[in-house]
């Protein structure tokens, strides 16, 4: 049985609206001609040459199929069709201006807040200075800080709960892009009364690995670096204490509960005051990169980009 459309002519293809309606630049030029009464003055106001303005106007007339402007030595005058098109053009341009204002307002709301996720050492010892500098540049930006270990920072970014992150670890977490912003050194520390603080020989990596330590939890950048460095020496012994913040680990070490491994950034004051003593480790240097990170393929923008720029001053 034949189709019910047999013998009927094929429908004309639909011409996209963008091909049938002049672009905003052309409509704004027409409005300028109507207001100023001169194609030359309209061209100067729009920042284009008179030949370019004349060409754009002719293209619009060809697109619409009607003459819009009558040109004479005394100036340019709208035709009846041109006056009607000008009224419609004004509505289109006003709607575009309203659209642009709304888009700017959305960008303004986005740029008025910054959500930062940072691992504990960076959050406690570096980020405050960067945020003070950012506030000088962007006093109206509200900043929220989510502090956790490096694994938690990656989770926040991948869930869309943070705009920029900072981690300390061996590499960039999966699903993120990043940039190295500085370097850090981990040091073995103990209270002055601990036997390690008084020994005359350097500690060996094997001794360190075999000793229960006060440590950060798994997932922290500090723990990642230490696990990797001591993997060839039997791996870390079960922790003496496992705590979720650098401050808590440091307080436990200062109290004499046991030795620990902490960022040099975190213990500078305690080492200077002799509340903690650095214990050298033979032939071993625990170093790590400090990184800014963000979701893969999404470069930081707005206040996140500015904050990233401020970190470049890090030694």
The phi, psi pair for 65, rounded to 5°, reads 80, 20
Does the pLDDT value for residue 123 go beyond 80? yes
Structure tokens at 48: 């284009």
Contact between 294 and 300 under an 8 Å Cβ cutoff? The reply is: yes
Query: 168 forms bridges with which residues in the sheet?
Result: 290
Model-level pTM? 0.62
Task: Encode pLDDT of 224-244 as tens digits.
Answer: 899 999 999 999 999 999 998
Q: What is the pLDDT of residue 108?
A: 52
- The distance of Cα 2 from the centroid of its chain, to the nearest Å, equals 61
Q: What is the pLDDT of residue 276?
A: 97
Structure tokens at 78: 């709208």
Element (H, E) at 220: none
Query: 114 forms bridges with which residues in the sheet?
Result: 143
Q: Which residues in 166-186 are b (16+ Cβ under 10 Å) and which e? A: bbbbeebbeebebeebbebeb
Identify the band that residue 59 occupies on the pLDDT scale cut at 50, 70 and 90: very high
- As a whole-number percent, the residues of the chain with pLDDT over 90 amount to 54
Query: Could you name the CATH architecture of 183-289?
Result: 3-Layer(aba) Sandwich (3.40)
Range(s) within the chain of domains with CATH label 3.40.190.290: 183-289
Task: Encode pLDDT of 128-143 as tens digits.
Answer: 999 999 999 888 888 9
Q: What is the pLDDT of residue 107?
A: 58
CATH topology of domain 17-109: Arc Repressor Mutant, subunit A (1.10.10)
Q: What is the mean pLDDT of the chain?
A: 87
Q: What is the pLDDT of residue 5?
A: 53
Does the pLDDT value for residue 11 go beyond 80? no
Q: What is the pLDDT of residue 1?
A: 46
Identify the band that residue 3 occupies on the pLDDT scale cut at 50, 70 and 90: very low
Range(s) within the chain of domains with CATH label 1.10.10.10: 17-109
273 vs 267: CA distance, rounded Å = 10
Q: What is the pLDDT of residue 98?
A: 78
153 vs 155: CA distance, rounded Å = 5
Identify the band that residue 315 occupies on the pLDDT scale cut at 50, 70 and 90: very low
Out of 13-22, 87-96, 183-192, which region has the weakest mean confidence (pLDDT)? Answer: 13-22
Q: 259: closest CA among 184, 199, 181?
A: 199
The arithmetic mean of pLDDT across residues 270-277, rounded, is 96
Q: 150: closest CA among 126, 168, 163?
A: 168
Q: What is the pLDDT of residue 161?
A: 94
Match domain 114-176+296-313 to its CATH number in 3.90.870.20, 3.40.190.10, 3.30.390.50, 3.40.50.980: 3.40.190.10
Q: What is the pLDDT of residue 314?
A: 47
């Amino acid at each position: 049985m034949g189709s019910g459309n047999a013998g009927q002519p094929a429908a004309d293809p639909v011409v996209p609206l963008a091909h049938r309606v002049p672009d905003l630049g052309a409509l704004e030029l027409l409005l300028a001609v109507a207001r100023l009464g001169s194609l030359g003055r309209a061209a100067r106001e729009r920042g284009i040459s008179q030949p370019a303005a004349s060409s754009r106007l002719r293209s619009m007339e060809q697109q619409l199929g009607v003459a819009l402007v009558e040109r004479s030595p005394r100036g340019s005058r709208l035709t009846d069709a041109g006056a009607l098109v000008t009224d419609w053009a004004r509505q289109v341009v006003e709607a575009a201006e309203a659209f642009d204002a709304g888009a700017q307002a959305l960008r303004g709301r986005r740029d008025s807040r910054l959500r930062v996720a940072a691992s504990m050492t960076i959050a406690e010892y570096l980020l405050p200075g960067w945020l003070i500098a950012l506030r000088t540049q962007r006093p109206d930006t509200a900043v929220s800080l989510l502090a956790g270990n490096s694994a938690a920072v990656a989770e926040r970014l991948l869930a869309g709960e943070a705009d920029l992150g900072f981690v300390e670890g061996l590499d960039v977490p999966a699903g993120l892009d990043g940039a190295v912003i500085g370097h850090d050194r981990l040091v073995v520390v103990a209270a002055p009364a601990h036997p390690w603080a008084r020994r005359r020989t350097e500690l060996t990596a094997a001794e360190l690995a075999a000793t229960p330590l006060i440590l950060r939890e798994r997932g922290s950048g500090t723990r990642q670096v230490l696990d990797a460095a001591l993997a060839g020496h039997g791996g870390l012994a079960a922790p003496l204490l496992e705590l979720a913040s650098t401050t808590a680990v440091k307080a436990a070490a200062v109290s004499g509960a046991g030795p620990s491994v902490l960022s040099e950034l975190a213990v500078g004051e305690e080492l200077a005051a002799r509340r903690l003593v650095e214990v050298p480790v033979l032939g071993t240097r625990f170093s790590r990169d400090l990184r800014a990170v963000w979701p893969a393929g999404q470069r930081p923008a707005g206040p996140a980009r500015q904050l990233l720029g401020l970190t470049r001053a890090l030694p």
